Structures are given as structure tokens and as C-alpha cells.
Amino acid sequence: MSKAIVSSLYDSDVFRMACRQFDKAADAINLPDALRDRTKYPRRCLAVALPVKREDGSVTVFEGYRVQHNLSTGPSKGGIRFHESVTIGEVAALAMWMSWKCSLVGLPYGGAKGGVIVDPNKLSANELEHLARRYMQEMVNFVGPHTDVPAPDVGTNEKIMGWMMDTYSNHVGHVAPAVVTGKPISLGGSQGRREATGAGVAYLVKKYLADMKISIEKATVVIQGFGNVGGETAIALANYGAKIIAISDYTGGIHNARGIDVKKAVTYVQYQKVLRDFEGGEAITNEQLLELKCTVLVPAALERVITDKNAGRINCRLLAEAANGPTTNAADRILEKRGDIEIIPDVLCNSGGVIVSYFEWLQNLSNFYWSRDEVMTKLTAILDKAKDSVELQKAKFKFSRRLAALTLGIQRVADAKQSRGLFP
Ligand code: NAD
């Protein structure tokens, strides 16, 4: 009965996609029935109405969510998304993926995610601050340094995390930096957190290209999404010597076979907010961009962009899933059948973000701060270990790389639930 209630609450394409991935992995490791639904479905969620006074004096009520998928292995952890297409089902799917990701890379966290249905580009700075603070105000009894620790995701950033940390701290009556990660350095943010996800993606791309005997200096790279993750991935890959030939955001893409000046593009977006009219190449659509011939394709925007419609035409050697859930299950089957594209699955590929968020949380709890070098050395050590474990699992059971990563992540969560027993 609980199964029907839970699945109807979150029912959506993206939640069904996450559930099918889970089912396939659970079958592959023969997860006992008594553990399946407990491991699969989110533990709890909160939906909130967020009234915000607008610049013209009117009031708009926004809808927000927080889904905590798993709390068995530590506080839950996951970003907060401000985007107009947010649904509770999407937030639930993203929370599930956070559980497998944290578990895969060995962090003492469960998974969670939050979201507000809003286009942040349409809010003034004041309205955005009011919305962020109101969201945290509603979450005060639901999150906390030892319960659930949010972070930035699509449409949110350091500044917003700072406002949320301030709101929470005012409520509890003392400074509580460990309640969110991805904060400004001045509020206890970690060195290296801003670039962590992109730096991690680029590091793994470099490692996998080396395994494939492809020199990174000869690699061409296409990136969809030029926000925090896409921008930092571009910078890090360009620093390794790769040529970034196409980038995009929600306003469209830019293609330049001779290579895009990534630093110039990042500066342009800092001031203009969008890539539109950036004069670094020819304009292309996001659909065209995904099918460009390249060595590495990096989806770094939203879910479900590689589908059964375009999977047959994707023209890369390595698909590095910087975004969460960019490849639908149907597309995955097509890519697996083609067999000519290596995939770094999302739960591994973008895990650098939550790994450095974990470092930030540790630094906040101990009030002892690390250098950037220390952060980066520890980050790459964890990524190396996670990559090795995925490759071992893949070889041992002849799994796809995605199935190898998911089975490792899911097994550890299920083992923890089994060991804790069922309360009451
Ligand atoms: P962001 O808001 O900083 O950037 C998102 C980018 O995607 C923007 O350039 C935006 O214009 C673009 N975009 C939005 N809709 C698009 C569309 N329909 N077509 C093309 N581009 C579109 O967000 P982010 O933090 O960079 O997150 C990007 C992805 O990475 C998300 O899937 C997120 O869940 C994942 N991720 C983020 C982090 C993190 O630390 N921020 C960590 C792990 C995974």
C-alpha cells in the first residue's frame, strides 16, 4: 500500500526513470524484496508555499519542496534548484540519485534535494533574497547540520546559500555554517567548492581519455549548459589542453571548430547573464550541439536531454554526464547497443561537488580550515578510488559502467538499512 502512495505522489517521467534504474540495479544484485521498497522510495518530503513581496507591492506565492530520500547513513545531502520546470517528482528523482552518489563515493550522507518553481532570472535581487530566506525559514525544522544539509544546484549559487545560512543561524540563535554548503568563503565556504564539480568532471574525463589512449591535447569538447558546472568544466578541460568547440545555455549555443575562448565566455556570462550574442563562433541550437562530432560530450544542464530521438546520432567517444540524469533509459539502451561510446555516469561524473561539500561541512563542524591544495588532493584521491571501484565492479560482473556505479551505490545503502534493522 505504501508503494502506491509513494509512487503516485512523485509520479513523473523523471521519477519513473530513476525507479527503473533502481529496479534494474536491484535485480542485478538480487536485492531481497524486504529491502527493495525501503531502499528505493524517498523517506519523507515537505511542500511549502512561499509568499514573496514583489517590487511593485504585489505578492506572489511560489511553491517549494524538499525531499529526503535516505537518512540511514548520515544526514541527507543535496542541492536546491530554482527553476520553472521543477516538480516534486523531479526533486524526488534527484534525491534518489544523491543517495547512490554519496554512497558510491563513500560519504557518510544520505541523499536529498530541494526545489522551487521559479525562473530566478525574472526576480529582482531583493525578491530572490526574500524567496531564498523564506524557503529556509520554512525548512528550519526539516534541515540542519545533522539532519539534512542543502547546497547549490541549477538556479542557485553561493550568495543564495549565504542568505539561507544567515536565516537558519538567526533562527537557532548562533552561527551555524554547517547547515548548508557551497557558501561564500567569508561565511565558512570551502576553498575549491565553487569549481569542485567541474574540476571533478574534468579530472575524470582526463583519466578516462587516458584509459582510452586518447591524448587530452587532441580532444575536442562540446558542453551543454554554461553555469557553475559547465563553465568550470570548460575552464578545467581547457587548462588540461583540450579544445572546447561548442558551449550553450538556455538561450542557445555557440560553435567554433577552432576552439572557443572559454575565459572570455565565462566573463561574458558573468556580466550579460546569458551566452546569447557572445561573439566566439556561430550560433547553433542545443539540439544541434548535442549531435556535433567531438571527442567528449558533456551535458551540464538538465535531465533527459539524450533520448531515444537523438541517441543514435550522438557523435562522441566519451559521454561525461556532468548533469544529473541527462540520459533517458531508452537512450541508454541505444548507446549500450551501439557500444562505441564510453559513458561516465552522472553519479560518478559529477560527484566532485558533493565530495567538496562534505569537506566544507567537516571544516565547519571542526572550525578548522584547509588550503585549496589540501582540498584538491583529497578530492582527486576520492575520485580515483570511486573510479577504480566502478571499473572493478564493471569487469567483475560484466555490467555497463552505469549499472556498476548504481549497484555499488545502492548495495551500500541497502546494507546499512539491513544492519540497522526495521524500527519499531
Ligand atoms: P547552473 O544554474 O549554474 O547552470 C545551469 C546551466 O544550464 C545554465 O547555463 C543554464 O542556462 C543552462 N540551461 C538551463 N536550461 C537549459 C536548457 N533547456 N538547455 C540548455 N541549457 C540549459 O546549474 P549547475 O549548478 O551548473 O547545474 C548543472 C547540472 O549539474 C544540473 O544537472 C545539476 O543538478 C548538476 N550538478 C550540479 C552540481 C553543483 O555543484 N552545482 C553538482 C552536481 C551536479
Over the stretch 301-342, which tens digit does the pLDDT of each residue have?
A: 999 999 999 999 999 999 999 999 999 999 999 999 999 999
Please tell me the predicted confidence (pLDDT) of residue 208.
98
- The predicted-structure confidence for 47-103, as pLDDT tens digits, reads as follows 999 999 999 999 999 999 999 999 999 999 999 999 999 999 999 999 999 999 999
- The predicted-structure confidence for 113-170, as pLDDT tens digits, reads as follows 999 999 999 999 999 999 999 999 999 999 999 999 999 999 999 999 999 999 999 9
The whole model's pTM is what?
A: 0.97
| Contacts of range 363-366, beta carbons closer than 8 Å, 24 or more positions apart | 363/188, 363/190, 364/145, 364/177, 364/178, 364/188, 365/145, 365/178
CB 48 within 8 A of CB 138: yes
Please tell me the predicted confidence (pLDDT) of residue 423.
85
Count Cα atoms within 13 angstroms, Cβ side, for 215.
3
* Nine-digit cell string for 172: 537557532
Q: Tell me the C-alpha distance between 335 and 21, whole Å.
A: 15
Nearest ligand 1 atom, CA 325:
32
Cα 182 to averaged position of ligand 1 atoms, centre (Å): 15
Please tell me the predicted confidence (pLDDT) of residue 6.
65
Please tell me which residue in 40, 77, 113, 387 is annotated as part of the active site.
113
Active site (annotated) includes residue 183 = no
Q: Tell me the C-alpha distance between 237 and 225, whole Å.
A: 15
| Cβ(154) – ligand 1 distance below 6 Å | yes
pLDDT value at 254 more than 60 = yes
pLDDT value at 2 more than 70 = no
Strand ranges inside 69-144, DSSP E = 76-83, 110-117
Give the list of residues 6+ apart from residue 262 with CB closer than 8 angstroms, or none: 231, 234, 235, 238, 244, 247
Q: How many residues does the chain have?
A: 424
- Residue of the CA atom closest to atom 42 of ligand 1: 353
pLDDT value at 283 more than 80 = yes
| Cβ(197) – ligand 1 distance below 6 Å | yes
Mean pLDDT of the chain: 97
pLDDT value at 4 more than 50 = no
* Nine-digit cell string for 81: 534548484
| Cβ(346) – ligand 1 distance below 6 Å | no
pLDDT above 70: percentage of residues in the chain: 98
3-state secondary structure of 28: helix
- Residue of the CA atom closest to atom 29 of ligand 1: 323
